[in-house]
Amino acid sequence: MVVSEREEAANRVDMIDTPQNDAAVLTQWQVPDADPDQNRDWLFPGVDEYFRGIYTRAGLGYASETLAVCSSISGEGKTTVSVGLAVTLALDFPESRVLLVETDLTKPVLAADFDVEETPGLVDCVHAGEPIQLAYRPTFLDNLHVVPVGGPLVGAGRILRSVRLASAIDAMRTTHDIVILDVPPVLVNSDSILLTDLADCVICVIRSGVTPLELVNKAISQLDAEKLRGVVINGSESAVPRWIRNMWAQ
């Protein structure tokens, strides 16, 4: 029987908690519910080491790449991983320009959490045919910019399927060395697969003990196996400070 590459990728998750499959698991930690009133200082000692382990094992930071961070369903911590990777890569590679791009229209958080303007954002620029650079927002790190999703616009979902979006991502590649796309959950929004196809590599976030295995396998089977760099498992124990564990659990 012939097994497709995507099926093989899904099968790697069947025993993802076993040591022999450790190469597929980038890290394990917990991301519970958020406390929005806590100060979010990404320079808090020790937090960056978790994300450093992810990017090191995924082979990120050493070449210009566009990474898509996805999950199977909502509530698995993909945005926390996206932001943590963006900040840690920017800190560890100060000569590299890092861009974090929000593409999930249903739960926009970047503008509020980085205290930047919501619009014009990604969908605004793509819809109007404006240069995507208008959506770039500076952060507390000189080499890190964020792009909020923007909107709301009527038919904004169709914008993510347009040729203009691919052109916008190509433009991002010319201005930044590392582009991180925080994409919608694979099984919730079909736009996610289109976005992962536009990326060079993919990381999938799974919440251990919450996401049913069949859903994990279904989501990973839809991803390009050659692009899948690994899986981040949100486990039950963590030494990560509570406020960071609680952020953006989506």
- Residue 65: CA atoms inside 13 Å, Cβ hemisphere, count? 19
What the chain holds in terms of domains, given with CATH numbers, is 5-10+25-245 (3.40.50.300)
Does residue 210 contact residue 2 with C-beta atoms inside 8 Å?
no
Residue 247's pLDDT band, with cuts at 50, 70 and 90, is: very low
Q: CB-hemisphere CA count at 13 Å for 106?
A: 12
> By CB neighbour count within 10 A (0-12 exposed, 13-18 middle, 19+ buried), where does 13 fall?
buried
Is residue 16 scored above 50 in pLDDT? no
| Tokens 């958020």 found at | 34
Q: Among all chains, which residue has been given the structure tokens 């979006």?
A: 165
pLDDT score recorded for residue 216? 86
Q: What is the pLDDT of residues 105-116, one digit of tens each?
A: 888 999 998 999
